Structure 1
Amino acid sequence: MATVTTTTTTSTSTNGPPPPKTIQPPPIIPATSRLFKPLQVGKMQLDHRIVFPPLTRNRNADDHTPLPFMVKYYADRASTPGTLVISEATAVSHLEEGQDNTPGFVSERQVAAWKQIIDAVHAKGSYYFQQIWGMGRASFPEFMAKKGLKYRSSSAVPMAGVDAVPEEMTEDEIQEIIQSFVDTARRVIAAGGDGVEIHCAHGYLLDQFLSDAVNKRTDKWGGSTENRARLVLEVVKAVVDAVGADRVALRLSPYAAFQDAEKGDIHGQYLYIINELKKMPAPLAYLSLVEATGDPGALIFGGKSVNQGRTLDFILEAWDNWSPVIVAGGYTPATAGWAVEEHYGKWDTLVAFGRHFLANPDLVFRIRNGIELNKYNRPTFYLAKNEVGYNDYPFSDEYLATHAKP
């Protein structure tokens, strides 16, 4: 936030004029900021700009099907009508269900379970996007071996701290994964979802092709900036052709070093993607971007974060309001208000809250009314198949009083 400096010159002191007087502008109040200005996003008319983002929480069954208590979790966070709710990352094929208790959107059983969640979000008057991904070498090698599945990536480059070396994906496997994204997007829309967010971030499969630290291929899927971006662009175009651009979004994490998926030329790589996306006939529903402060390697696991202090401005400038942009990365209500009013004030921007939305099912209501937030409990973030640290965070007394049934 800028400060205003004024100088007074009426003093008769022999020591010269008084020092400049610094005036701090009044703080931005989140409730009166653009956080609560409605916004059209794809086919959705959102009532505010506070987004519930994808959060992997390992609450699915062993067969990667959502457990029944997940319906309450998602519905609670959709409790303020007009909220955009985005699911946790969901596998596009059984081959990509690479970790314990993460979900898929493939089998009839999985689709039926997700449909209950989608319907519950819609019943609250809110909107629902499914984040979809492949895991690639981020899968657990032992887990894949136990299931008799291939451990694979863009190239045969192991991840730090992992003994197993992934196999380089073949041309047939690349075409299959593109089709898997398409098929899963169709299943989501058929189940009532408002759209899909394609995950190309944080060192998962599409990001493994994008990263020159991981992708060492010499065919059309690797080498140059254009070739390394080919898979994510092919996936986006194929999914758009299948379900429509206004039902498709893309997530990117330009600065994340998580899972060693770094890029040597961040600006060149991502500006190429943005420029190619803008050549499409219609804009995506939205673009989702992770700030440098949102690198999971540092934010969650205490690892390296090599790009702190760098901004997403170069992407928003190039995107130029082609469609709205979601930003994420450790925001608080106060900094989110500042972001939409000042830092990103000239763009249609929304702000995602991860940990705070986990701990506050009524987060939108709390921010609107200036109510203190529940504190999140990190040790319970990933308790598999458990409602502790998941469905036991309370609504505020004020919310309960306001929404009490007569």
Structure 2
Amino acid sequence: MKNALFQPMQLGNLTLKNRIVMPPMTRSRASQPGNVANDMMAKYYAQRASAGLIIAEGTQISEMGQGYAWTPGIYSQEQILGWKKVTDAVHAKGGTIFAQLWHVGRVTHPENIGGQQPISSSALKAENVKVFIDNGTDAPGFVDVVEPREMTQQDINDVIAEYRQAALNAIEAGFDGIELHAANGYLINQFIDSEANNRTDEYGGSIENRLRFLGEVVEAVNEAIGYDRVGVRLAPFTSLNGTVDKTPVETYTAAAALLNKHNVVYMHIAEVDWDNAPETPEEFKTAIREAYQGTIIYAGRYNTGKAAQALTDNLADLVGFGRPFIANPDLPNRIKNDYPLAEHDPNTLFGGTQQGLVDYPEYQEAH
């Protein structure tokens, strides 16, 4: 059963050595000023290159796209060169790595975007959502988000162009492909979900209209770098960052059909992963499999048994293990040999230095 996780597979033109994915996780360690990926991040990802696929942490496509302090960008030449260190280090260890392109929309604070007002599908503030800013110490300072302004058609065109350029930059930086972050309440998700979008133009109202922005961004990046290097992350049932949809099954089955039409190489579904969260309905997973013919990744609360079952049942092709990868750089080896998993220190997730990033050891058998 466990062997299902260790079958190689084709993803576009890439051959992945196993079905284990390291999903994107914000760690806020980019060098300042400039939000540049660095040697420490290169070491962190290289240590985890035994994953079949690494999807690097969200990287903002523009200054306006940044939600939190110290997250890396991919819009300046310096940022491209920083990421090149990371991709070179991962490829040297035989790994495969995608960049996650990120625009947070309303999930930010003027402190993080040069004093500007955030933009979103609509002028609706995300309720009870905090982000962290650089408060002059190396511990993040949490603040409430502010009300965004509704994007004009010109704003929409500009952001689509930023996604396109970021995809080209990612390939220049040596990434094997890109993932569009359309999940967890960030900008693309703010267009998709009914309760975050009260527009009355062709980007609001019906499901088809709310999916239009996603479709236009996908089209732009496909055209720039090829659909076989483009994945999309969605979060149908989460209410993260205050973004909720009234009819998630209908909306996200339609999203799957749209991504199928655009032929993207994978669809990555973030499941709700807090402890007593509802399970993603089985019939939804079946409907997604019917609507979308490409590779499907699920992530959220998976252990070895549950992951292998999802592959055996043909609901997933790849499975993401998020938190376990933080404290277990050699996670595939531990899964394969049933070695115990280390627990991560929640206090060193965001910001800070090497501690809690690159100092978790590989498993040593007692001799």
Same fold per superposition (TM over 0.5): yes
**8 Å CA contact 2:110, 2:116 repeated in 1:** no
1:174 to 156, 160, 167: 156
Counterpart-to-counterpart distance in 1, 2:118 and 2:6: 45
1:397 alignment partner, SS class:
coil
Offset, 1:163: 6.3
Give the corresponding residue for 1:244: 226
Q: Deviation per CA, 1:81-121, whole angstroms, max 9, x where unpaired? A: x7211100011112212321011001111100001100111
CA distance in 1, matches of 2:279, 2:178: 30
**1:370 partner letter:** D
Paired residue type of 2:306: T
CA contact (8 A) 2:108 2:146 kept: no
1:115 alignment partner, one of 70, 84, 105: 84
Partner of 2:353: 386
| CA pair 52-177 structure 1, distance change in 2 beyond 3 A | same
CA 1:313–1:190 in structure 2 vs 1: closer, same or farther (change >3 Å)?
Answer: farther
> In structure 1, what is the equivalent of residue 266 of structure 2?
286
Contact 1:287–1:326 (8 Å) recurs in 2 = yes
Q: How far does residue 313 in structure 1 lie from its aligned partner after superposition?
A: 4.4
> Which letter does structure 1 place at the counterpart of 2:327?
A
Taking the aligned partners of 2:47 and 2:21, their CA distance within structure 1 comes to 13
What is the distance in 2 between the residues matched to 1:47 and 1:313?
A: 30
- Of 13, 24, 38, 1:43 maps to 13
Match of 1:354 in 2: 322
1:385, CA displacement in angstroms? 3.7
Alignment of 1:325-404 (within 5 A): 325-341=296-312, 345-347=313-315, 349-382=317-350, 384-398=351-365
Give structure 2 stretches of 5+ with no counterpart.
129-143
Cα 1:232–1:163 change in 2 (3 A) is closer
What is the aligned residue count? 350
In structure 2, the residue matched to 1:68 is 39
CA 316–114 in structure 1, closer or farther in 2 if over 3 Å, else same: farther
Match of 1:213, SS state, is: helix
SS in 2 for 1:54: coil
- 1:129 equivalent to 2:117? Answer no
2:178–2:230 contact (8 Å) kept in structure 1 = yes
- Residue 156 (structure 1) aligns with: 123
| Map of 2:112 onto structure 1 | 143
2:55 matched to 1:86?
Answer: yes
| 1:324 to 2:284 alignment | no
| Residues 398/124 of structure 1: CA separation in 2 closer, same or farther (3 Å cut) | farther
SS of the residue aligned with 1:198?
A: strand
Match of 1:104 among 67, 73, 89: 73
**Does the 8 A contact of 1:101 with 1:385 survive in 2?**
no
Task: Specify the code of the residue in structure 2 equivalent to 1:199.
Answer: H
CA contact (8 A) 2:24 2:100 kept: yes
Secondary structure class of the residue paired with 2:252: helix
Instruction: Using structure 2 for the length normalisation, give the TM-score.
Output: 0.90
CA deviations on 1:25-61 (whole Å, 9 max, x unpaired) are xxx4x2xx31011111122111110111100011112
The answer to which of 223-232 and 90-99 deviates more is 90-99
Q: In structure 2, which of residues 171, 183, 195 is the aligned counterpart of residue 189 of structure 1?
A: 171
CA distance in 2, matches of 1:183, 1:136: 18
Of the two, which has the highest radius of gyration? 1
The residue type equivalent to 2:264 in the other structure is: L
